[in-house]
Amino acid sequence: MTHILHLDASARPGIAGTDEHGSISRRLTHRFVSDWQARQPDDSVTYRDIGGHPPSFIDQPWIQAAFTPAAQRSSWMVDTLAESDLLVDELVAADILVIGAPLYNFGMPAALKAWVDQVVRLGRTVDYEPSQPQDPFIPLLADRPRHAVILSSRGDAGLGPGGPMAHMNHLEPALTTVLEFIGITRIDRIAVEHQEEGGALLAASIEAAERDVDALVAHLSQRVHAEKQAEPA
């Protein structure tokens, strides 16, 4: 059975096309997960609305607790890391990570960055080996196949790979860096553009993105099923 971790980072609570001022990225993630469950009804989903309920920002007590060896942590340190441990556990359990993330001011929403800071943890999702100075970081989530799907929305156009404004897009590149750093290297990206312009250009971009989502679900469900079949008993 495949397990999906579904994250929505948009500050807009509704779904575009259904709710007034709804989110396009939520529309894409909802479509992905709904299509997946229609194909694979026995698979499970954990949902976390980090746009509506942002994770805590890390602070000095968090840093002190996270960099204290687990066996030496006091009770307040354990309490301080409880939220992070829960978010990490959700990520570790996932076979597929689905992230809905609008492009805000050329980067990821603050709520998504807060989630990133909570889950990139020494000893939990990455290790450090000083005896290997050329490559000291060990991604702990490379222990088995995991996939990530980044579904985003952008106000302008030309922000994708090869586009004239691609150098200004720090959303997907930053997320890709983070995910690969902890061991999730199978990453797919689909985006809607022209949100500021609206009209026919936006409608065509949404239609194209939804076709891509449908095709990705069909392809990825087969691939993940094959990977599950190949796992040792």
| Binding-site residue ranges for FMN | 10, 23-25
| Burial class, 56, CB count within 10 angstroms (exposed 0-12 / middle 13-18 / buried 19+) | middle
Alpha carbon distance 168, 189 (integer Å): 17
Amino acid found at 176: T
CB 119 within 8 A of CB 84: yes
- Binding site as annotated, residues: 10, 23-25
Q: What is the 3-state secondary structure (H, E, C) of the chain?
A: CCEEEEEECCCCCCECCCCCCCEHHHHHHHHHHHHHHHHCCCCEEEEEECCCCCCCCCCHHHHHHHCCCHHHCCHHHHHHCHHHHHHHHHHHHCCEEEEEEECECCECCHHHHHHHHHHCCECCCEEECCCCCCCCEEEHHHCCCCEEEEEEECCCCCCCCCCCCHHHCCCHHHHHHHHHHHCCCEEEEEEECCCCCCHHHHHHHHHHHHHHHHHHHHHHHHHHHHHHHHCCC
